[in-house]
Amino acid sequence: MNAYYGDFRAVKNIDIQIKPRQITALIGPSGCGKSTVLRSFNRMNDLIANSRLEGEILFHGQNIYADGVDPVEVRRRIGMVFQKPNPFPKSIYDNTAWGAKINGYKGDMDALVERSLRQAALWDEVKDKLDQSGLSLSGGQQQRLCIARTIAVKPEIILMDEPASALDPIATLRIEELIQDLKRDYTIIIVTHNMQQAARASDYTAFFSMDEDRAGYLVEYDQTQSLFTNPKNELTEQYITGRFG
Amino acid sequence: MIRGTFERELRDLQDRLLALGSEVGENIVKAVNVLNQRDLIGARRLIDADKEVNRKRIEIMTDALVLIATQQPMAGDMRLIASIIEITGELERINDYSKGIAKNSLLIGAVSLPDVIGHMPEMASKTQLMLRDALEASSRRDADLARAIPQADDEIDALFNLTYRDLLTYVADNPGSYELINYLEWALHNLERAADRVINICEWVVYNVTGEYIEMDSEFEAPPAA
């Protein structure tokens, strides 16, 4: 696929197969289109005025950009967690339940909230204060609350755009541990500037770079342990050893 | 240079590895010389010098681990540091064999040797050359050179077999010499093992360059009966 902002082609000729129930890290220097690619996976780029995509993104064999596809439903099934934790100015409970409520969930909401907060490794810390504001939590807790909110609508894929870059090192490691647990049930794609994080926390890594025409392109995609020990492409080697970028 | 400090520290590790390798290579030749020439003082010096080799090995290994902890090397850098750690371990073991030959020399004592170890100086020289080439391959990241070096071990093995046969023949003809011949067999064994360790170094050089660790041991051949 190719992604454009107006006439500017931001990413070109991207051809990648994301492995289910695995963690895929997207790495590369600033401006190479990692976040554009990530947002393409759940049509978040639709919200940017002059963005367009040429090509296909197939989810269960169906092109999510085909006519008639509901982008809201796409975003329910392919959820997103952002760099800056963004809990709503609501209670912890309401934050977690929000997505399910607006999707018309009719089941046991208390059970859903507990399950989601447990899966986000936050339940024990907040179970006695679910009525408190989500904004009263620490940065790391807020991010886990956002993950719980995403999980509550039962997505299949979770996209994470530098989910730990605004957090302290301990909170970062807790998010990484959480991601390892989540992959049992979800496919996870994570953009990160932190190569050590990509090496620690992912199963597969896709390295993007910027070409001379300033379009981002996929340089190499492989199992993380292979890419970080013996990359096939010289440019990958240069980037992950810090010789450029 | 984006990672100037890291590059300098890597180069420093490599330089120290090469210097240690050169010292270890010289010690193999010295060990056989002190044996051949009955230089018991030289033998004691070699034994004492092993402590310094061990110290240098630990230093290189520790500094390599510090680099891993502080610089989080990836890919080729990581493989280089891993191979440096392994190669210094092999060098330390090679020097242990030289120390072993020197100890055998002391155990034999101040007696002259029968004319049965004529091939050992050549074995020592060839081993030193193999080691020099292996370290050259490491320095130049030359996997092809590293792959070619084990062939030289076949020559050393052939000389080992010849010498071993000569020792067996001598002790068969001179049963009272069994203790002397036993020490010489141990010295011969140490020398042959030193060459085998150089092959291990070649394997780590290839791993560093290609990312693949492949064993290069030559086929085992039993020494001929006396």
Q: What is the 3-state secondary structure (H, E, C) of A105-163?
A: CCCCHHHHHHHHHHHCCCHHHHCCCCCCEHHHCCHHHHHHHHHHHHHCCCCCEEEEECC
The pLDDT, as a whole number, for residue B212 is: 94
Chain B partners of A196 at a C-beta cutoff of 8 Å? 72
Edge-to-edge order in the sheet of strand A204-210: A51-54, A2-5, A8-11, A216-223, A204-210, A23-27, A187-191, A157-161, A78-81
Stretches where chain A sits below pLDDT 70 are 245
Nearest CA to B127 out of B68, B180, B200 is that of B200
Name which of A196, A237, A244 is nearest B75 (Cβ-Cβ): A237
The pLDDT, as a whole number, for residue A103 is: 87
The answer to whether the Cβ–Cβ distance between A228 and B75 falls below 8 Å is: yes
Chain A partners of B3 at a C-beta cutoff of 8 Å? 241-243
Exposed / middle / buried, residue B198 (Cβ in 10 Å: 0-12, 13-18, 19+): buried
Q: Does B6 touch chain A (CB under 8 A)?
A: yes
The pLDDT, as a whole number, for residue B217 is: 73
The answer to whether the Cβ–Cβ distance between A241 and B3 falls below 8 Å is: yes
The answer to whether the Cβ–Cβ distance between B75 and A241 falls below 8 Å is: yes
The pLDDT, as a whole number, for residue A132 is: 97
The pLDDT, as a whole number, for residue B117 is: 87
The pLDDT, as a whole number, for residue B5 is: 87
The span from the CA of A17 to the CA of A26, in Å, is 13
The span from the CA of A162 to the CA of A150, in Å, is 16
Which residue, among B74, B80, B210, would best test binding to A if mutated, counting the most A CBs under 10 Å from its CB?
B74
The beta strand positions in A138-226, using DSSP E, are 157-161, 187-191, 204-210, 216-223
* Angle at A80 (CA atoms; ends A78, A82), nearest 5 degrees: 170
Nearest CA to A194 out of A230, A225, A166 is that of A166
The answer to whether the Cβ–Cβ distance between A229 and B75 falls below 8 Å is: yes
Q: Does A201 touch chain B (CB under 8 A)?
A: no
Would you give per-residue pLDDT tens digits along chain B (226 residues)? Answer: 668 889 999 999 999 999 999 999 999 999 999 999 999 999 999 999 999 999 999 999 999 999 999 889 999 999 999 999 999 999 999 999 999 999 999 999 999 999 888 899 999 999 999 999 999 999 999 999 999 999 999 999 999 999 999 999 999 999 999 999 999 999 999 999 999 999 999 999 999 999 999 999 755 555 555 5
The answer to whether the Cβ–Cβ distance between A199 and B211 falls below 8 Å is: no
SS3 content of chain A, % helix, strand, coil (to 5): 40, 20, 40
| Distances B1 to A218, A244, B8 between C-alpha atoms, Å | 26, 9, 11
Q: Does B70 touch chain A (CB under 8 A)?
A: no
The pLDDT, as a whole number, for residue B116 is: 87
CA-nearest residue to B211 within chain A is A230
DSSP symbol at A45 = G
Q: Does B69 touch chain A (CB under 8 A)?
A: no
The answer to whether the Cβ–Cβ distance between B78 and A229 falls below 8 Å is: yes
Nearest CA to B13 out of B138, B123, B112 is that of B138
Chain B partners of A230 at a C-beta cutoff of 8 Å? 75, 79, 210-212
Q: Give the predicted TM-score (pTM) of the model.
A: 0.85
The pLDDT, as a whole number, for residue A146 is: 96
The pLDDT, as a whole number, for residue B4 is: 84
Give the model confidence (pLDDT) of A149-189 as tens digits: 999 999 999 999 999 999 999 999 999 999 999 999 999 99
The answer to whether the Cβ–Cβ distance between B211 and A229 falls below 8 Å is: yes
Helix axes B4-36, B75-108, angle to 10 degrees: 20
Q: Give contacts of B 183-212 with A, CB under 8 A.
A: 210-212
Q: Does B143 touch chain A (CB under 8 A)?
A: no
Q: Which residue has the tokens 């390798």?
A: B21
Helical segments of chain B, H only: 4-36, 40-71, 75-108, 120-140, 143-148, 150-173, 178-210
DSSP symbol at A44 = G
Number of neighbours of residue A71 by Cβ within 10 angstroms: 14
Q: Does B141 touch chain A (CB under 8 A)?
A: no
Chain A partners of B77 at a C-beta cutoff of 8 Å? 241
